[in-house]
Amino acid sequence: MNLNICPFCNSKTLYLLKDNYRKCKDCKKKFSLKKLEIDYKIIDGFCEDKSALNLSKELEVNYRTVLNRYEIFRKLIANYLEDLYNNSIQDNTSYEEFYYFNKKQLQKKKKSIYEAINLIGFYNNKIVYTLLMPSLPTAPLENRDIQFERYLKWHKLQSQNSYTTPLKDFWIFLGNQLDKYKGIDKNNFFFYLKECEFKYNFNKPICKALLKDIYFN
């Protein structure tokens, strides 16, 4: 971390204020060096897949502080990826539908495809994009098991008879990433989905650089 450069505009014209604060002459923003250093470390921990609890203990920072930063990061990432999708999508995109089941749902003896989260993945310009689709309309009870069995057979057939693709790799990556959490509220699923998309598309050094740029600007 370069403490001689403004994190908001990259200006090198800073001057010292009281209580170890810096102020940028160009963008007029001021910031605490201590808080800035913590923010950088939290971004690094987030991109390294460290849990908010473990990172808070490692940095000796309040758990709620780290958790709040993680929530902000996910929302910023979602906005960034939505813009990237809107600006980059082309006609030659490949796509695939996917139904996400969490661990608890997969362990149930009787499963229904109508309980799954419906997703569509696109692959274009060597980047995976995802869209969260509306839930499937609930079918009559007697049809649910039949529909789910059809889906499982189709998915097994597709997996066996097709080559590995970035989208199939991403669905595996998504499942492994989300399995780390005890449970994700459906209202927040979109933001976790976008976090996985972000971490799949970019390696850790790029994730860190992009997130710092997004967060401070």
Look at residue 157 and tell me whether its pLDDT is greater than 50.
no
| pLDDT attached to residue 111 | 64
Residue 4 lies in a domain: no
Q: Is 6 part of any domain?
A: no
Percentage of the chain exceeding pLDDT 90 = 41
E-state strands within 50-196: 94-100, 117-124, 127-132
Residue 3 located in a structural domain: no
pLDDT above 60 for 184: yes
Q: Residue 184: left if φ>0, alpha if ψ -120 to 50, beta else—which one? A: beta
C-alpha–C-alpha distance, residues 33 and 155, integer Å? 52
Domain count, the chain: 1
* DSSP per-residue codes, 52-80: HHHHHHHHT--HHHHHHHHHHHHHHHHHH
- Tell me: pLDDT of 75 over 60: yes
In a domain, 39, yes or no: yes
- Select the more confidently predicted residue: 75 or 164: 75
Residue 144 within any structural domain of the chain: no
The answer to whether residue 109 is domain-embedded is: yes
- Residue span of the structural domain in which 203 resides: 14-139+150-216
pTM for the model stands at 0.79
What pLDDT band is residue 211 in, cutting at 50, 70 and 90? very high
Quick check: is 184 in a domain?
yes
- The reply to whether 145 falls in a domain is no
Which residues, at least 6 apart from 207, have a Cβ–Cβ distance to it below 8 Å? 47, 198, 199
